[in-house]
Structure 1
Amino acid sequence: MKAGMFYKAHLLPALILSLFALFTIPQAANAQNSPERYTAIRLLPGKTDVKGGDKITVGIEQRIADGWHTYWINPGDSGMTTRIKWSGVDGVDAAPIEWPLPSKLPMGPLINFGFEGNPVLLQTLTLPENLPEGPQTLTANIELLVCHEICIPEKHEASFVINGDEEAVPAAIERARAAQPIEMGWPATYSEENGNLVVRIRTDAPSAFSKLNRIDLFPEEWGLIENTAATEAKLDGSTLILTHKRGDRDLSDAPLSKILITYEDPSGTRKGVRLSAGFEGAVKSGEIMTTDGVNSLGTWKAILFALFGGIILNLMPCVFPVLSMKALSLVNLKDKEAGKARLHGLAYTAGIIASFAVIAGILLALKAAGAQVGWGFQLQHPAVILFLAYLFFMLGLNLSGYFEINTRLTNIGQSLTQKTGITGSFFTGVLATLVATPCTAPFMGAAMGYALTQPAYVSMAVFLALGLGLAIPYLVLCFIPAARHTLPKPGAWMETFRQFLAFPMFASSCWLVWILAQQVSHMDQFMALLGLLAIAFALWLLRVRPAKGTGRVVMLVAAAAVTAFIISTFFMMKPANVDGRTNTAETGASQNWEDFTRARLQSYLEEDEPVFINMTAAWCITCKVNEKVALATDATTKLFADNNVRYLKGDWTNQNPEITTYLEEYGRSGVPIYVYYPPRLDKEGARPEPVILPQILTPGIVEKFITQTP
C-alpha cells in the first residue's frame, strides 16, 4: 500500500483519537486504575468432559456497560479488535475467533464496526493429544478496547476447568451460533467501478434479500470501503449486486477477502452471510459450489424441468390410480367420438392447470408476506392431512363398490357422452393435483426452487409447466387415437381392475394417517380414526335408508349427525410436535444420524470430517423410498462409519423455519435435498465446497459421492 494512501486513510481518525486522548487522559488513567470496568467477561464452554485431541467450542461473552461498545474483526474507522490468548495447558491450538453480526456505530464523524450489549464470540480450541490427566484450567487472556465518549483499553483473565466439576453449557453455544452469520460458498467477486466497490454474488436464495434497502456490507479487510457511506443493493436474476463507495486501500492488497453481508429477511429478522470474494475474478473454479444445476437453470430450462417432473409425477402411487380411472373411461370410446375425447382431455388439463395456478398463487402470496413455505407446505397442516386421508378413503370405498356416486368429481361409471362428463373431467384434474402435492419427482426440486426465487410471472410459468406435464399422458390418450388403441378391449376385467385400484387409495389413506400421527396428539389420532369409521357408517346409513316414512327421516338425521362429527374432527387437529425434530418412532439405539440444527452443522463444519445432510418429511414419498433403498441400509451405514461421515437429518414434516431457510440457501423449495460436505483436504486446508446429490438415490450414487468427491 502506498504511503500517501495510508496517511490519507488514517490521518483524520488519528487526529480525532489524539484529541480524545488529550482531553481524556486523566479520566482514562483513573478508569484503568480503578476497579471499575466497562466490560465483564464470562467463558461458556461447550463441553468440559474431554480427552486428548478433542475440540472444545468456547463462548466468550462480553457484558458491555450501557452506552459503551467493543469492536469487530474490522473495527471500522477507528478502534481495536479484541485479542485472545490461551494459557494453562501447553499445546492448545486456538482457531480464529468467530464473530457475531456487528453493527455500525457512529463516533463523531467516524463509523466503527462493533458490538453493544452482551455479544458472544466463539473460539474452538483443539486440545493436545498428550492432555494431562485430572482437572485442568484453561485461561483466556483478553485484550479489548471499550469506547463511549472516551476509549479505554481493558485486559481480562477468565478461566474454566476441564475434566473437573464445572458444567458445560452447550445450549449457550447453540444460541451464540444462531447469532453468527452463515458461511456460504456462493461465488463472489469484487471490483472498482467509477469510484465504487462493486461486489457481485451469485446466490441460490435471492428471495432472502427482498428488502434491498436493509442490506449492509462489512468487509473483514480494512480500508476497502468508505465506512460512512451506505450500501446500495439490487438483484439481477439470481445475482446480488452491492455497490459501496470505495475506501483508499488498494484492492490488490486483498486479492481474496472475506466479506459479511447483513440483511433483513422477509419476516424482519436481521441475518448475515459470510463468504469469500475475489478481486477481479480471483475466485477459483474450485471455490464455486457444485449443485445439480439450480444456479444456472434459467427460465426456459426451469420450465422444461418442471414439464418433465410433471410427467413423472403420474407414476407416483397416489396419482397413478387417478390417471388409470380416467384411462378406463376412454376404453369404450369410438374413433368417431374423437372430438369428445379431445374435449375431455382439455377439461382435465384445465382442472390441473387451474389448481396449480391456485397453489402457486397462495404460495407466492405467503412468501411475499414473509412466511417460510415451500412445495408441500400444505401438508405441514394437520387439517389438510386429515382432509386428504378422508378423501382417499372415500375414493377407495367408491372404487371397491361399497357405494356409488353420481358425481362430477371422478367421472367414474359415467359415459363420456353424458352431459356431466366434461365437468367430471375438470374436477378429476383438480383431484389429480390434490393427490400429487405430497410428491416430488426428479427435475422438480431444481425447477420449484428456481421458481420461488424469481418474479411472480416466471414462478407462475414454471408451476403451470409442472401442471401441463402432469396432464400430458392423458392428453396423449385423448388426442391420439392410436394411443387409445393400445388400451385393452372393454370387458369384465374393467370392474375387477376398478376394484383393485381401491387398494392403493386405502394404502394412501393409511399413509396419511401415519403422517398425521407425527403431527398431533394421541387423542387427535384416535379422533381421526373415528372419523374414518364415521364416513363408512354415514355411507352405510345412506345405502340402507328406507325409500320413505319415519325410518328414512331417522336415517337421514343420523347421517347428518355423523357428518357433523366428521366435520368437527377438522377443528380438533392441533399440532403437537412442531420443533422440527425427526420423529422418535423412527429412531433407535442403532441410528447413525443426528437431528439437524444449524448450530450442530456449523460445529461439525469447523471440524475435519465430512458431513452429510438429509432433508426429509414423513409425507414425502420420494424421501422415504430413498431412505429405504439407499440411506438406511447396512452398506451405507458402514460406508458412513468407515469414512467418519457426520450424518444429520432434518424433518420438515412440520413447519421449521431453520430447515426452510437451509432449503432456500440451496435454491430449493421442498424436500428431499441431500447435501454432502467433503472433508478438509489437510489439517490446515479449506474444506471443499458442498455438493448436492440427485433427488433419486441409489447405494451406488451415495458411495460415489462419499468416496470420489475431493
Structure 2
Amino acid sequence: MGGAGRRFAWAVLALLAVLALFTPGRAAAQPEIGDENIRAALAAEGPPVAGGEWMLALHFTPRSPEWHGYWSNPGDAGLGMELAWDLPRGWSAGEPQYPVPRRLVIGGLMNHVYEGSYAVLVPIRVPRGADLSEIGPIGVTADYLACTDKLCVPQRAELTLDPPEVGGGDPRFVRWRAAIAPMLDSRANFAIEDRRLRIGIPLPADMTLSSPHLFIEERELGKGRRPAYAREQTFYRDGDLLVAEVPLDQLNLPAEIVREPAPSRLDGILAFSRDVGVRFTAVPGAVPSAGKPVAVQETPALWLLVLGALAGGLLLNVMPCVFPILSLKALSLARAGESQAEARREGIAYTAGALLACVALGGVLLALRSAGEAVGWAFQLQEPAVVIALLALASAITANLAGLFALPSIALTRRGEPAGAFATGLLAAFVATPCTGPFMAAALGAALVLPPLEALVLFAALGLGLALPFLAIGLVPALRRLLPRPGPWMETFRRVMAVPMGLTALALLWLAFRLGGPQLGWVAAAMAAILILFLALAGRRQGAGRQAGLAAALMLAIGAIAFLPRLASEEVEAAESLLDPEPFSEEALARARAGGQPVFVWFTADWCVSCKVNESVAIEREATREAFAAAGVVTLRGDWTRRDPAITQFLSDHGAAGVPLYLWYDPGEEGRQLPQVLGPEALVSLARAVPDRQARAGPRTLPPGAAGAGWD
C-alpha cells in the first residue's frame, strides 16, 4: 500500500471514529483516537553525537493483555505504523527496526502482531558539525493501530524528547536491542513463479530451525499478487541455502494495478522460532527448485497433548515432589483391600478430588493470565497465605496420623469414608503439581496458549493421570489382591506415616522462611506448634471440652492465614550457590551471550522438590563448579520462589508452564533446553565438550548484533 493509500485509510478510520462519537446511544462506548489502549513513549539510547547515528526507541505498552500492535506489514488485516518526525534541519530518520513479530489467526485471517510491551528502534542521522547545544526538543507523531480479537482502534501518540536532557540514556536499550532481528550480511535471491514466491536465504546448514516462518514486508508483489499469509509455507535445504516457498493470492484488481511489475527488492524477517530470527534483503535471482524438506515443528494435536498430560500426571506419582504425601496414598491403598464396594468408592472419590483440584488450579491460572497477571503453573505456592494454609493443614494431618486426635471430617484415611479419599485426592493434586516432570512441559506449555476449553481438558488429563493408579486398584479386583491383607498392622503403619507428613510440614515451614523472611518463619513455627497442642488437647477431652479445643485450633488457623502474610519481608536473601550465579534477567542473558562464552541458565524455586533434587545431584557439585570454571561458563539463576513477571514471561516464551527449566548456550549458538531430570555428570559433560563443539562448528561470521540477539 502506497503512502497516499495509507493516508487515505487513516483518514477513513479517523472519520469513522469521529462520526461514531455522534451516533445516538453509542457515543459513550466509542473510544477517541489517542494512545490509551497501547501507550507509546519515546526514549534515547544516549546523547546524540555530531556526525553519528543516534538511536531512539518507540516503546509500546498495552493497557491489558488482550491488546496487540502490528508489524510494518500487518498481514491480512490491520495497518502498519506511520511516523511523522519533527527534526532539526539536516537531521533524518532511518527505517524503523522491529522485533520478530508473532502470528495471530482470527477468523482465518493472519495477523503479524506484537503481544505485550515491545520497542521499535529508529536510527536518527545527525549531520557533521551539528551544534548540539542549540538543539531544541525533537518530536514525532506516531499513527498506529491497537486491536483485540474483536475490536480495532486507531491510536495517535505525539511524543517529544529534549536531546540535552537525555543524559546517560535508557538502560532498557540492552533488552530492546536484543529483541531486534539482526540483519544478515549476505543478500538473498527471490523468484516469483505463477502463484508462488520462492526466496533463497544463505544460512549455515547446521543451523537449527524449530519453527521457521517468513514475514514479507512488501504487501504487493506485482500483477495483482500478494502473499497468502494464512496458508502454509514450506522450507527446503540446499547446502548452506534455505529455500522458502510462500503461496501467493491473485487479487481481482483493476487492469492498471495488475500491470504493475514485480518489486526489484524484497525485505522481511525470517523467524527461526518464537521471537528469534534475522532480517534479510532479497533481490531477483536464481533460486534452487529442489532440496531437502525442513520439518516444521508445530503445536501437537490435542489428543497428543492429552496423552502427554496423562503420562505426566502418572509419572508425578514417582517424582520427588510427591514423596512427602505418599503416606496418605499408602493408607488408602491398604484400606482399598477391605471390600469391593469400599475400594470402588474410594478410587472414584480420590480421582474426583484430584480432577477437581487440577481443573480448579488450571481455571484460576487461565483466569489470572487473561486478567493480565504474570503467573504460571504452581503460582499458588508463591503466595505466603497459601503456604501458611498448607502448613496448618499438614500440621493437622500429622497430628491426625499420629493419633493425637480424630474426626470423621478430617480423618483422611478413615475406613469407608469417600470424603476422606476425596480430600486425599485434593491434597495430592494441590501439593504434587507444582513441579513439572517428563511429558508435562509440552502439555502445560500448550495449555497456556490454547483456547480455555481445550486447556481445561489438558488440566483434567493431568489430574486423571495422577489418580490413575488408585482408580485402577479401586476398579480392578486382581490388583487389590496383590496388596497386603488388612489387619492390626495398619494402625502402627498409620502412626509411622506421621513421620513423612511431619517432614512435609517442616518443608512448608522452611518455605515460609524463604518466602517471607525470618519474622514470618518464626511466627509460622509458633502457630504450627500451638495448633498441634490445641488438637492434642482436643483429642484427650470429650464433649464440650473437645469441641472448644477444635474451635480454638480452627480459629488459630484462620487467623494465621489472614494475618501472617502481612509479616512477609519485601526482600529475602538469595540462596547461596557454589556456581556463584548472577540473578536472571533478559539484559543479563544478552550480556552473557554477547561475551562469547558458554552460558548456563537454570530456573528454580524453593517449593519445587524436583528442582532441589537436581541441584543437589547435578548443579551444586564441586565437579560441576570446576568444569564450569575450566570452560569459562557464565551462570544465571532465575529464582521463581516468589512472583516474578519477567521470569514468568520467559518461561512462557520457552513453552514452559513451570520449573525446573534448564538452558545451555554455546558461544554464538541458540539455546538448548536440557532435560528436566539431570544426571550427576550431565553439566560436567556439557562443559568439557565445549572445545570439541566449537572445533566442529569452525569459524563463523555472525551478523552485526547477532551475538546478543539470539542468532543461531
Question: What TM-score range do you get, normalising by the shorter chain?
Answer: 0.5 to 0.7
Residue 172 of structure 2, aligned match among 153, 172, 175: 175
Where does residue 27 of structure 1 map in the other structure?
Answer: none
Where does residue 22 of structure 1 map in the other structure?
Answer: none
Indicate how the Cα distance of structure 1 residues 625 and 10 shifts in structure 2: closer, same or farther if over 3 A, else same: same
- Stretches of structure 1 lacking an aligned partner (at least 5 in a row): 1-7, 14-38, 46-57, 65-71, 83-96, 104-117, 124-139, 150-156, 159-167, 207-216, 262-271, 681-687
Residues 165-212 of structure 1 deviation map (CA, whole Å, 9 limit, x = unaligned): xxx97xx66422344463689xxx99989999999xx99999xxxxxx
**How far apart, CA to CA, are the structure 1 residues paired with 2:87 and 2:215?**
14
Residue 309 of structure 1, aligned match among 312, 322, 327: 312
Where does residue 518 of structure 2 map in the other structure?
Answer: 522
Where does residue 614 of structure 2 map in the other structure?
Answer: 626
Determine if contact 1:519/1:575 at 8 Å carries over to the other structure: no
Residue 584 of structure 1, aligned match among 566, 569, 573: 573
Residues 371-397 of structure 1 deviation map (CA, whole Å, 9 limit, x = unaligned): 222110111111001111111111111
Give how far 1:274 is off. 5.5
* Residue 501 (str. 1) matches residue 501 (str. 2): no
The AA in structure 1 aligned to 2:311 is F
**How far apart, CA to CA, are the structure 2 residues paired with 1:63 and 1:450?**
32
Indicate how the Cα distance of structure 1 residues 649 and 490 shifts in structure 2: closer, same or farther if over 3 A, else same: same
* Residue 444 (str. 1) matches residue 436 (str. 2): no
Indicate how the Cα distance of structure 1 residues 665 and 287 shifts in structure 2: closer, same or farther if over 3 A, else same: farther
5 Å matches for 1:447-526?
Answer: 447-526=443-522
SS at match of 2:681: helix
**How far apart, CA to CA, are the structure 2 residues paired with 1:320 and 1:205?**
44
**How far apart, CA to CA, are the structure 1 residues paired with 2:98 and 2:326?**
51
**How far apart, CA to CA, are the structure 1 residues paired with 2:445 and 2:172?**
29
Where does residue 328 of structure 1 map in the other structure?
Answer: 334
5 Å matches for 1:78-97?
Answer: none
Determine if contact 1:578/1:655 at 8 Å carries over to the other structure: no
Where does residue 633 of structure 2 map in the other structure?
Answer: 645
Where does residue 17 of structure 1 map in the other structure?
Answer: none
**How far apart, CA to CA, are the structure 1 residues paired with 2:629 and 2:85?**
48
Determine if contact 2:601/2:664 at 8 Å carries over to the other structure: yes
The AA in structure 2 aligned to 1:321 is S
Where does residue 376 of structure 1 map in the other structure?
Answer: 378
Give how far 1:466 is off. 0.8
Indicate how the Cα distance of structure 1 residues 576 and 78 shifts in structure 2: closer, same or farther if over 3 A, else same: same
The AA in structure 2 aligned to 1:465 is A
Indicate how the Cα distance of structure 1 residues 308 and 142 shifts in structure 2: closer, same or farther if over 3 A, else same: farther
**How far apart, CA to CA, are the structure 2 residues paired with 1:319 and 1:305?**
23
Determine if contact 2:628/2:684 at 8 Å carries over to the other structure: no
* Residue 698 (str. 1) matches residue 679 (str. 2): yes
Where does residue 407 of structure 1 map in the other structure?
Answer: 409
Determine if contact 1:409/1:427 at 8 Å carries over to the other structure: no
The AA in structure 2 aligned to 1:435 is V
**How far apart, CA to CA, are the structure 2 residues paired with 1:205 and 1:561?**
62
**How far apart, CA to CA, are the structure 1 residues paired with 2:595 and 2:292?**
24
* Residue 532 (str. 1) matches residue 523 (str. 2): no
Indicate how the Cα distance of structure 1 residues 705 and 102 shifts in structure 2: closer, same or farther if over 3 A, else same: closer
Where does residue 670 of structure 2 map in the other structure?
Answer: 689
Determine if contact 2:600/2:633 at 8 Å carries over to the other structure: yes
Determine if contact 2:627/2:684 at 8 Å carries over to the other structure: yes
Give how far 1:698 is off. 0.8
Indicate how the Cα distance of structure 1 residues 502 and 349 shifts in structure 2: closer, same or farther if over 3 A, else same: same
Give how far 1:308 is off. 1.3
Where does residue 574 of structure 1 map in the other structure?
Answer: 566
Indicate how the Cα distance of structure 1 residues 498 and 445 shifts in structure 2: closer, same or farther if over 3 A, else same: same
Q: How many residue pairs get matched?
A: 539
The AA in structure 1 aligned to 2:650 is Y
Using structure 2 for the length normalisation, give the TM-score: 0.62
Indicate how the Cα distance of structure 1 residues 320 and 41 shifts in structure 2: closer, same or farther if over 3 A, else same: closer
RMSD: 5.5
**How far apart, CA to CA, are the structure 2 residues paired with 1:649 and 1:285?**
39
* Residue 386 (str. 1) matches residue 388 (str. 2): yes
Give how far 1:232 is off. 11
**How far apart, CA to CA, are the structure 1 residues paired with 2:407 and 2:442?**
40
The AA in structure 2 aligned to 1:524 is L
**How far apart, CA to CA, are the structure 2 residues paired with 1:41 and 1:442?**
43
Indicate how the Cα distance of structure 1 residues 79 and 243 shifts in structure 2: closer, same or farther if over 3 A, else same: farther
Residue 358 of structure 1, aligned match among 357, 360, 375: 360
Determine if contact 2:98/2:180 at 8 Å carries over to the other structure: no
* Residue 655 (str. 1) matches residue 643 (str. 2): yes
Determine if contact 1:205/1:666 at 8 Å carries over to the other structure: no
Where does residue 420 of structure 2 map in the other structure?
Answer: 424
Indicate how the Cα distance of structure 1 residues 198 and 470 shifts in structure 2: closer, same or farther if over 3 A, else same: farther
Residues 18-51 of structure 1 deviation map (CA, whole Å, 9 limit, x = unaligned): xxxxxxxxxxxxxxxxxxxxx9994599xxxxxx
Indicate how the Cα distance of structure 1 residues 11 and 491 shifts in structure 2: closer, same or farther if over 3 A, else same: closer
Determine if contact 2:638/2:647 at 8 Å carries over to the other structure: yes
Residue 350 of structure 2, aligned match among 348, 351, 359: 348
Indicate how the Cα distance of structure 1 residues 528 and 79 shifts in structure 2: closer, same or farther if over 3 A, else same: closer
Give how far 1:595 is off. 0.6
Determine if contact 1:99/1:121 at 8 Å carries over to the other structure: yes
Where does residue 110 of structure 1 map in the other structure?
Answer: none
Determine if contact 1:277/1:283 at 8 Å carries over to the other structure: no
Query: Between the two proteins, what is the percent identity of the paired residues?
Result: 28
Using structure 1 for the length normalisation, give the TM-score: 0.62
SS at match of 2:601: strand
Where does residue 63 of structure 2 map in the other structure?
Answer: none
Give how far 1:674 is off. 0.8
Where does residue 597 of structure 2 map in the other structure?
Answer: 609
The AA in structure 1 aligned to 2:682 is I
Residues 652-708 of structure 1 deviation map (CA, whole Å, 9 limit, x = unaligned): 11111100110111111111111112212xxxxxxx322111111113333454427
Determine if contact 1:409/1:431 at 8 Å carries over to the other structure: no
Where does residue 664 of structure 1 map in the other structure?
Answer: 652
Give how far 1:638 is off. 1.8
**How far apart, CA to CA, are the structure 1 residues paired with 2:191 and 2:566?**
53
**How far apart, CA to CA, are the structure 1 residues paired with 2:140 and 2:99?**
20
Indicate how the Cα distance of structure 1 residues 699 and 499 shifts in structure 2: closer, same or farther if over 3 A, else same: same
SS at match of 2:459: helix
5 Å matches for 1:276-315?
Answer: 276=278, 296-315=299-318
Where does residue 675 of structure 1 map in the other structure?
Answer: 663
Residues 434-466 of structure 1 deviation map (CA, whole Å, 9 limit, x = unaligned): 221333222212211112111122211211111
Indicate how the Cα distance of structure 1 residues 63 and 101 shifts in structure 2: closer, same or farther if over 3 A, else same: closer
SS at match of 2:310: helix
SS at match of 1:669: coil
Give how far 1:507 is off. 1.0
Indicate how the Cα distance of structure 1 residues 283 and 637 shifts in structure 2: closer, same or farther if over 3 A, else same: farther
The AA in structure 2 aligned to 1:698 is G
* Residue 564 (str. 1) matches residue 555 (str. 2): yes
Where does residue 127 of structure 1 map in the other structure?
Answer: none
- Stretches of structure 2 lacking an aligned partner (at least 5 in a row): 7-42, 59-71, 73-79, 89-94, 102-118, 142-162, 183-188, 200-208, 233-245, 252-256, 698-712
Indicate how the Cα distance of structure 1 residues 557 and 689 shifts in structure 2: closer, same or farther if over 3 A, else same: same
Determine if contact 1:325/1:498 at 8 Å carries over to the other structure: yes
